[in-house]
């Protein structure tokens, strides 16, 4: 197994930070985002809160009336969850991540693994700088802070990430993994919930260190083969799970570097046409129609910019992509006088209606 370097990025107090982004003047006040159940005006629970509100004991899951009580006399602000807005911000950041990693795996609206092994040449020293670069880039482009955990696999990246928040950056090198994990309680491992924790406690296992040394055969007898081996490996910091996008793609994108820095539209479109080929191939293979087309451009000052267009009706032909990429780049070059170094194309907003129809008709005609 090749030595890998994996990041886990987790956005800080995400929904509440999005609300701060929309309205920066609230930043120094307690901010609470709530899910209102609608039964009465006040019924519902806290989805998340900023760190100022957390100091008052207001955390995810707390009933809203209790949150109001704890924050009485402060200038706290309450918001309703706005998933659509948070998803937009999340997508923008995920797109930026894609430009920095060979593979990314989004695990939730505010979390993604990045495999950056190649980008940092397998060096943990370079990885720290690289993580700072990504943080700074997202901060200038989107204005959001997040925490990065770095490790030789997903398991350690996750544990590194959870160990210091917000705006954290923690590295667990392979040689430090055992010492880092040993004192932690077993429920830090993915898949160890309340039931398993109790069970392990009965076996005299409280910490990951104790689990690591526990006889693997007896773990297998208790939890079955797959889980027993998994617990044993995880406790010993062994995790070979690849970083890979789950399920169906939410977008298809390709990015490339231009042969020379340029402001020439035709030169740029020659490159984007090359990028569109594999995108179009994947679209047709999957039978996707798309509604959104985006371009990505990195200027010589290394600032990345995206521009998007959303179609009135879903389309599935290559011409629509080519035409809109041209339009977007024409506008982009008009707005920016800097030369462009890297370009990217992304299509998203997929629907599969066409595919269903096609399958149905081929079923009838064959």
Name residues contacting ligand DGT, limited to 110-169 (CB under 6 A): 110, 165-166
Phi, psi dihedrals of residue 244, rounded to the nearest 5°: -155, 135
107 lies in the site for ligand DGT, by CB under 6 A: no
Residue 19 binding target from Ca ion, ligand DGT, none, CB below 5 to 8 Å by type? none
Among 13, 97, 296, 332, binds ligand DGT (CB under 6 A): 13
- CB of residue 166 to ligand DGT, shortest distance in Å: 5
Closest contact distance (angstroms) between CB of 91 and ligand DGT is 15
Burial environment of residue 46 by CB neighbours within 10 A (0 to 12, 13 to 18, 19 or more): buried
Strand pairing of 103-108 and 111-115?
Answer: antiparallel
Phi, psi of 256 (to 5 degrees): -150, 160
Give the residue ranges of DSSP H helices in 224-352.
225-235, 265-286, 318-335
Distance CA 114, CA 106 (A): 9
CA distances (Å), origin 281, targets 59, 141, 309, 327: 46, 31, 21, 22
> Mask: binding to Ca ion, 331-350, rule CB under 5 A, as x and -?
--------------------
The token pair at 4 is: 């890998």
- In the bound complex, what is the minimum distance in angstroms from residue 34's beta carbon to ligand DGT? 8
Is 330 among the residues known to form the active site? no
What x/- string results for residues 96 through 115 when contact with Ca ion is judged by CB under 5 A?
--------------xx----
The count of chain residues that interact with ligand DGT, using the rule CB under 6 A, is 14
165 vs 263, which CB is nearer to ligand DGT?
165
**Residue that is written with structure tokens 């690289």 in the block:** 130
Nearer to ligand DGT, 15 or 280 (CB): 15
DSSP 160-171: HHHHS-SS-EEE
Catalytic residue among 19, 72, 111, 285: 111
Cα–Cα distances (Å) from 57 to 45, 51, 52, in that order, read: 14, 10, 9
Of 6, 8, 11, 304, which lies in the binding site for ligand DGT, with binding defined by CB under 6 A?
11
* Residues involved in catalysis: 111
- Which positions touch ligand DGT (CB under 6 A)? 10-15, 35, 47-48, 60-61, 110, 165-166
- Which positions touch Ca ion (CB under 5 A)? 10-11, 14, 110-111
């Amino acid at each position: 197994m090749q030595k890998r370097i994996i990041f886990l990025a987790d956005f800080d107090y995400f929904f509440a930070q999005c609300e701060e982004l929309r309205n920066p003047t609230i930043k120094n006040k307690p901010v609470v985002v709530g899910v209102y159940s609608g039964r009465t005006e006040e019924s519902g629970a806290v989805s998340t809160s900023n760190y100022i509100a957390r100091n008052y004991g207001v955390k995810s899951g707390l009933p809203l009336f209790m949150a109001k009580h704890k924050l009485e006399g402060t200038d706290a602000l309450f918001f309703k969850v706005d998933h659509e807005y948070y998803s937009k911000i999340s997508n923008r950041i995920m797109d930026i991540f894609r430009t920095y990693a060979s593979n990314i795996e989004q695990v939730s609206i505010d979390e993604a693994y990045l495999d950056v092994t190649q980008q940092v040449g397998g060096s943990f020293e370079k990885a720290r700088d690289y993580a700072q670069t990504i943080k700074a880039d997202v901060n200038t482009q989107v204005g959001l802070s997040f925490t990065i955990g770095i490790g030789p696999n997903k398991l350690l990246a996750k544990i590194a990430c959870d160990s210091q928040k917000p705006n954290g950056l923690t590295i667990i090198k392979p040689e430090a993994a055992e010492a880092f994990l040993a004192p932690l309680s077993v429920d830090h491992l993915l898949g160890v919930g309340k039931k398993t924790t109790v069970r392990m406690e009965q076996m005299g296992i409280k910490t990951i260190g104790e689990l690591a040394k526990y006889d693997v055969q007896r773990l297998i007898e208790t939890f079955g083969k797959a889980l027993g081996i998994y617990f044993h490996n995880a406790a010993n910091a062994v995790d070979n799970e690849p970083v890979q996008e789950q399920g169906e793609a939410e977008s298809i994108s390709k990015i490339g570097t231009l042969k020379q820095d340029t402001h020439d539209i035709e030169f740029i479109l020659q490159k984007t046409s090359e990028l569109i080929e594999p995108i179009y191939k994947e679209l047709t293979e999957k039978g996707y129609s798309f509604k959104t087309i985006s371009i990505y451009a990195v200027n010589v000052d290394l600032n990345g910019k995206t521009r998007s267009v959303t179609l009135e009706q879903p389309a599935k032909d290559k011409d629509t992509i080519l035409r809109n990429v041209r339009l977007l780049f024409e506008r982009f070059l008009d707005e920016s006088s800097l030369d462009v170094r890297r370009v990217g194309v992304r299509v998203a907003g997929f629907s599969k209606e066409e595919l269903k129809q096609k399958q149905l008709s081929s079923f009838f005609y064959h």
